[in-house]
Amino acid sequence: MKYVDEYREQTKAAALSEKIREITPLDSHYKIMEICGGHTHTIYKYGIESYLPDNIHLVHGPGCPVCVIPLGRVDDAIAISLQDVIFTCFGDMIRVPGNKRSLGDAKAQGADVRIVYSPLDALHIAEQNPSRQVVFLAIGFETTAPATAIALKRAKAMRISNFSVFCNHVTIIPPLVAILDSENVEIDAFIGPGHVAAVTGSRIFAQITETYATPVVVSGFEPLDVLQSVYMLVKQFHEGVRKVENQYSRVVSYGGNPVALRVMEETMEVRPYFEWRGLGTISNSGLKINSEYADFDAENRFSIPGTEVKEPRACQCGQVLQGKIKPYECKVFGKACTPEKPIGTCMVSAEGACAAYYNYGRFMEINAKLVKSTK
Amino acid sequence: MYDRAMCLGIPGQITDVLDEHYAIVDVGGAKRKINTDLAGNGTLKSGEWLLIHVGFALAVIDEAEAKATLALLEEMEDVYTQELQALAESQVHQASDAEDTP
Ligand code: SF4
């Protein structure tokens, strides 16, 4: 297992950790936000924080697609699922709580809700059931939106008229801008989402460094990738520069995936505003199906309540998603809110900060000891 | 029921290029049909590795990257088995062929 050694060797991690400590300026605290839930998972699973000096703080961002879906949109999805349709969604959406219930509850009450792995699975179900309406609940950032775009294009080409998409795709830059603009949040740097950037290219983060002078390093998902990204950011602090760097050039290019960008452009358009769980309404942050594909837009085909629903008072996901508090600082964490019975979305998906911390937080001490023993 | 890690891609090796839209890939020993519209520009070849996300090849990756990602996923046990299970249950591989898209 040469590759494992290459990527995960403890001594390499310890060496990187040493280098980070050497150049981290001591005079202040640095808050580094990892945007993507995949990184959150890696950070907790491998106890990355235990490799960092005390004045570097990793906080979790809004990049877990399941976590940012607002209650109202879950209720809308449930409302569609109850209109005599086959309602399809990714597995992690089933347990996401809406105002009163989840899609899983709707299913238990008789709605035909089915888990699919791919939007093309949903399209296939539509082909097989020509007399029924089949709706796909589309969620995700730029990583997943091109897959939905291709399903739409195929539906149109194949004239599968009983297929439609309830589109909840979102884009990565607007929530970052919203976080940087909000009061009481000071983020010193971002670890950029590797697979979003595989589609968009690392170039889209330039507006963050240019407008806010906040460095971004696009990162891979290996523990050593994340550590190296932190090193690259600290080096920028040390040298007093602020730029976009790409640690994940194995997969991410400057310009992104041109086909993916093109199919999104051809099928979707930017919504003037979209609501995010915990972050409120953010302008130009959501994608909707464009007029050329309007026939496949579930929002045109079904009645949708579209009511805004207040978040439960106990839920502090909004603060977790903005890096204001750590998961364990939420009052209901691990008590009323667990992966089995989640109150907030951050506890539902494996990539949610609260679920990741709940599942792996206990490993952190063990990892910390490992690091010390390799020194 | 399973949860999936949405941001993680899963690597698979091409065993057969079916046409310009689909290829058969070997994912953890299982053969799956996946859509290739987003990767490779029609030049994919058997033996190449792809990063797969929701039934689509998102990027062509090299073998070292693929193996490292596989090792990472295997360590995440649940996430990996769930992803494999989801892929196994996927019906993409049965989807009929369409006219030219995109
Ligand atoms: S513990 Fe539960 S309610 Fe609190 S922030 Fe996390 S997911 Fe939200």
CB B12 within 8 A of CB B61: no
Higher pLDDT, A359 or A194: A194
| Residue A350 Cα to ligand 1 middle (Å) | 13
| Residue B22 Cα to ligand 1 middle (Å) | 41
* Sequence-distant (≥ 6) Cβ neighbours of residue B49 within 8 angstroms: B11, B12, B13, B14, B60, B61, B62, B63, B65, B66
Alpha helix stretches (DSSP H) within A89-190: 103-108, 119-128, 145-157, 173-181
What are the sequence ranges of the domains in chain A?
1-313, 317-374
Res B70: pLDDT: 76
A349 to chain B, any CB pair closer than 8 A? The answer is yes
* Sequence-distant (≥ 6) Cβ neighbours of residue A369 within 8 angstroms: none
Least confident span in A227-231, A234-238, A310-314? A310-314
Strand boundaries in chain A, DSSP class E:
30-36, 56-63, 85-89, 112-115, 133-140, 163-169, 189-193, 216-219, 244-246, 268-270, 273-276, 280-283, 287-289
Q: Which residue of A has its CA nearest to B51?
A: A251
A259 to chain B, any CB pair closer than 8 A? The answer is yes
Average pLDDT over residues A259-286: 94
A32 lines ligand 1 (CB under 6 A): no
Confidence of residue B77 (pLDDT cuts 50, 70, 90): low
This prediction has a pTM of: 0.87
Phi and psi at A270, nearest 5°, equal -80, 135
Mean pLDDT of chain B: 76
Contact A222 B72 (CB under 8 A): yes
| Residue A341 Cα to ligand 1 middle (Å) | 11
Confidence of residue A375 (pLDDT cuts 50, 70, 90): very low
Average pLDDT over residues A77-84: 96
A56 lines ligand 1 (CB under 6 A): no
Confidence of residue A210 (pLDDT cuts 50, 70, 90): very high
Res B69: pLDDT: 75
| Residue A317 Cα to ligand 1 middle (Å) | 5
Q: Quickly tell me which residue has 């020194």 as its tokens.
A: A375
A304 lines ligand 1 (CB under 6 A): no
Q: Find residues 23-62 of chain B whose CB sits inside 8 Å of chain A.
A: 35, 37-39, 41, 51, 53-56, 58-59, 61-62
Question: How many Cβ atoms sit within 10 Å of the Cβ of residue A100?
Answer: 10
Residue A324 has pLDDT above 50, yes or no: yes
d(CA A80, CA A85): 7
d(CA A160, CA A60): 40
Question: Whole-angstrom distance between the N-terminal and C-terminal Cα of chain A?
Answer: 23
Average pLDDT over residues A214-219: 96
Least confident span in A302-306, A316-320, B75-79? B75-79
Q: Which residue of B has its CA nearest to A160?
A: B98
Res A31: pLDDT: 93
Laid out side by side, the sheet with A112-115 consists of A112-115, A85-89, A133-140, A163-169
Residue A136 has pLDDT above 90, yes or no: yes
Confidence of residue B90 (pLDDT cuts 50, 70, 90): low
Residue A371 has pLDDT above 50, yes or no: no
Taking CA atoms only, the protein residue closest to ligand 1 atom 1 is A333
d(CA A84, CA A96): 21
Within 8 A of A6 by CB-CB distance, chain B residues are 64, 68
Res A132: pLDDT: 97
Residue A48 has pLDDT above 80, yes or no: yes
Q: Could you give the domains of chain B? A: 10-100 (2.30.30.140)
Average pLDDT over residues A329-349: 86
Nearest Cα neighbor of A244 from A213, A276, A268 is: A213
* The domain made up of A1-313 is a member of CATH 3.40.50.11750: yes
Mean pLDDT of chain A: 89
Residue A6 has pLDDT above 60, yes or no: no
Least confident span in A6-10, A156-160, A273-277? A6-10
Half-sphere exposure of A271 (CA within 13 A, CB side): 18
CB B5 within 8 A of CB A350: yes
